[in-house]
Structure formats: structure tokens, C-alpha cells
Chain A
């Protein structure tokens, strides 16, 4: 950990944060926010949080940026500047921010120093997981073993939250009632290179490799950074790439709305189903070690590793389907006809 690198990256992050708030163009704000996320990703790699960095690179920098661009495309790109008025809300916002900042700064004297190995968070609970992960689960990546096994119940509901978010987006945007709708202006074209042959060819050649990489990330999440969430988002992003370079039809011919909701369901069901199989075999919910009774040639320890792989696959399927659903609805104003 080199604090000079840390500090310079953090300074750039603050500059990007200011720029993305202040810029008067939503497309620019989205792109600067993407840069902000990539800098965050750099910072977390530097702090040793490789799994978080991987997630941020695929989710924060990749999918979030696309969602912001889709919104700017479907609404308006300009942020109107206000000459007068708005003073009151600016004062209120500034006061609230300063008060909160002062309270947080006052609390900071009691915090342990940055990267202190003797800080309370590193002394009591976490050594157990660091030292026991190989003995208990045979998974060297302790982030995966905590995520999918020690804390599997929580992750199951996180997956359900993602699924619910997809359903909420459909519920908000898919109500096509004519009375409900202003005359939407024709969305303007963001780039003229939209029908470019080179872009289409290259992205079409890239998609199989992206998907192969995503499957590797899911399957190898036990031994290296990665796992179901990251792999699922990369899989979804490969489909989004197709939808951007071609059109929405090509995406929907492959994964239509019915299928993507069904896949989201299946993903959550795989997760909960593995938990119920454990229950049926006589152990606790999501206690994978009992799975060695039905998995051939595994002991109780390896069975936990395999059980984690099973739920990671479920998570990946659910996340992929929901990322596609959210993008398709946002980019087409819920009409699913044409996208970016």
C-alpha cells in the first residue's frame, strides 16, 4: 500500500465527482461518472479489495454508465442552468452537507489509522474466516466463501433484491397507456456512427469471447477474483453490446422479455432450490456439506465448494437476465421497439 498513489487517485476521484455534478450535459456527466468509477476500481485494487474492484469495473463503470446514457438518450441531454431562484435549496443543501461533514470529521479522531493491522475490525471476527476458509470449504478466495457459504442466506436475498429491481423497472415503464404519455420528442441521435460496419463487425466478433470470459469468471470465482455477480453482469453486458451496435430487435430475438423474466426466476430458484435440497437431506438451509450424499466422489468439504459453484451459477443467470431487462426497458422507454 503506497499512500502517495492512494492520495493522488483519491484527489482525481474528488475532481471527477465535482465535474460530474457540475457539468451541464447529462451525456458528459455519464461519461465522467464512468471515469470516476474506473478510478474507484483502481483505488480498491490498490487497497487489496480485488473482488470489489472487479465488481465496480463491470457494474459501476460498465452497466451504470450505459444506463445513464440510455436515460439521457430517451429524455433530454441538456441540464437547464438557472440564473435566479434555487438559492434557497442551494443554501439548504450546502448547510446539510456541511453539518454532516463536520459531524463525520468530529467522529474521525476515534477511528483507527488507515491500514492499521490492529484496528478492531481486523482483530475479532475476520481472522476466523481467513484461517478457516480452506479447512472448512476448500475455497482459497475467502470473499467467495464468505459470500456464498458463511453468509449465503443474505446473498440469496440480495439476488432476490436484484430480481425485484428488474420487476419494478418493468412495472414502472411497461404500462403503455396513451393518456399517461406526453408527446415524446423524437430522441436525437447521439452518434452518427451507429450503423457503422466496422463497429458492428468488431463487436459481433467480440461477443463470444466476452461470454467465454464471463463463464470463466463464474466458474473460477473460487480461486481468483470474480464470481456469480461479476460474471452475470459481464454476460448481460455482452448482450447490451449487441443491442447498442445493432438494434433492440437483435437482442430481443435472442432473449425476449418473457425469457429474461423467466431466467431471473430460474436463477433465484436455483439458489433457493439448492438450499431446499440441503434441507431435504437433513441439514440446515444452505448447509452445502450435506450435498456429499448426492454428489459422487466428494467429501463434506468439497461438497461445500461445489454447492457454492451451484449458487454462483444461479446468481449469474439472475443478474444477467435482470441487467438485460433494465437496459432494454430504459433504452426504449418501456416500448421495447428501438434502443440506443
Chain B
């Protein structure tokens, strides 16, 4: 029977078929400070061991400062949480990349960077953006802390079979339109809960044409459409990306691994529960106007009228969003001024993101009254950017150049906006209060964020060269 990529990975990990539930083996468990202390406490209370510390990797990212390497830089509570992770990892023999380590960074940046993620793996992390790793054709999803404890103790997880959704992005992406714009356009089309209960497989020419880092950006935001996970079938780019990294398969197993990876694709006649198609050439740079990632339009469009939505829930949600965001229906997106710019997060903090952003930053200076920060996704990304002198371009343009971490994506640290401040952000959530109580977040690509920084308002980055 023709099967989907999702089914192939799922079926290869069934330890026990329990009827409605499957007990799945977990190949890789990534951990960080925020969602694990209670899981380790649970293990310790019952005298349980971590079954496979060798398959578990930790980093510090959410609660840390991007201005200082001191663990107490964001207060004693954060320090306690960070030290708790360090103690737990030491006690259970888990490899941790703490602040100051050469491999430290945002959990979804360092996993691929270290070669920890291979096609066909099951990958979990107590973080909803774990779907990032689906870019490798791995089944990767976010879990809660009780599940983290379950994986630590058993290296397995109970899961029901999800529905499958194929999203095909056909054709060629116009110049100046990015992977971020693809995923925002997808969420805008299917809605903030459009993929609930589904695992998405992204396919089509425009997806195949993306680099590995761009694919990570797309898969990263699968959860913002409600999906359990997002997958892209591995190809030569995937194989080339993994080769030579620290945790890539060893030389003697490499050919065998590659030949397995090459078997990981959805069969021609595989059945998906839902199929969605988009034309790449219709996508323009996207800007969210509301308080969920599905409330998004193209840069040359206007803030929609709440009455333009078909159903009552969307109408009401739009009305509420406009009040929170301080926007008027009908306003041109290019008339929205911003006070802050954040370039970073597990969505857009990799070297290619920084290169693309720096290219635009080289065109001008950050506008007066705008505070703009660049937060690389990892120590290695930061080093690479500095080797390429991107930091100089950013600093000369008026951006602050920070240390790696989650930073202003969620403000569990000292990067927090004040009420009413408006931010062009390359992160993944524009929920109320996400970047600070009363703060207003607009999600955009790195290039669009820099364009907004320079112009002081949203601007079609494609017109920047013409200035």
C-alpha cells in the first residue's frame, strides 16, 4: 500500500501497538531549562533513571540574557532554573551546552548544527517549535513536561496516529520573497488552527528549491497552523548538510544511512487527509497585522475590515486584534510605524538569515527612534557572522549585536518590550503580550525587518535597492 513519509517514519518507531495509541521509540530528545525541572524532579522522587542519556542533549536558551554571560543576569529565579538544568544534566550524565560553551544556542538551532538530526528520526523537545527539525524529514514535535519525564525515563512516548496534510507550494518564488513569507502565507491561507490534529508534509518546486536553513524556517512555524509536526522529504541538500557534522553517522555507516534516507518519501499514490496548494509566484512579503500568525497580509495590502471575514469567530477575533494592535481597518500596511526591530529566534537566527538581513542593513541606517537588535541563534552562528564581518555591517547600520538566546521572541529574559511599543519581529508568535505586556508584534522575514528598521515603518524590501 502506498504510504506517506509520516507513516513510514511512524511505522519504523512502533515499540508496541496499543490500539488507539502507539508506543513510539524516540531517537533524539532535546532539552532546555524551562520545561524540564519538574520532569527531573519527578524522576528523582521515584528514583528513576534517564534511560538513554546518550540520546539526550541540553542547552540553555530561553531564560538567559543576550547582554551578559552571567546566569543571574535576568534575576535569581532564572539563575535557579539554569542551575537546576546544569545539576540535572550532570547528575544523569546528559551532554549540556551551557552558556559560554562553544556549542550553546537556541535548542532548534544547535540540534541541526551539531548534526544531531537525521532523516527518519523521531525527535522531541519540551518546546512547540520542535517541528523545525522536520526540515530533515524527521518526525519532530513539541511535548509537555510530563511527556519529557516519560521520554527521559523510557525513551518512548505514547502517541495517536495523526491525520496527514500535504501542502504543495508550486512554481518559483519571486525575488525578495523568503521562506518566512511562504510559511506565513500558508498559515494565512489555512488559518491559525487549520492543521490541528495533522502532520503536514511540505512539497512542491518552491519547497525543493529552499536551502536546509530555509526549510527549517518553514517547518518551524507548523505549530502556528496548529499542526503536530511539519515534514519535508530529504534530498541531496539534506545529505550534504549533515555530512561532516559532529553527530553525523560515522564514516563506516554513512553509505548505509544515506541509502535509508533516500527511501524516505511519500509514495506516488499515498493518500493524504487534506491537500492544500499554493502558487509561489502569488506570494509577496508578508506582515502580520493581528494577534495570531494567521492574521497576515502582503506588504502592499491593507489591514482588513473585521466584517470581511466569513465566520463570526474570525470577525470577533479581528476586531479584538485591531484594538490590541492599535490599528485601523483599511490602513495601508506601509503606513504602520514601528519602534523596535528584533532579528532572531528559532525561526530566523541562522547564518543565512543574518546574511540576508545584513545585505539590507548595508543599504542604510536604523531610523531615528527605532531600537533594533540582532540575536544570533548560536555561538557558532555568531562566530561565523563575525568571521564574515556581518556584525560590523549591523553595528554600522545602528543595530545592537547580541549574544545567542531566545531573547525577545518570548521575553523570558531582559529583552522585553513596554506597553504600546511596536516591533517588526522575525520570530514566530504575535500573541498578545508575547514580547511584553501590551507590546505589539508584527511577524516578518529578516529582510523585511531590516527594511522596517531603516524606514521606521513597514516597507516592501524589494523597493529598497531603488532608493
Chain A complexes with chain B: no
What residues make up the interface of B, taking CB atoms closer than 8 Å to A?
none
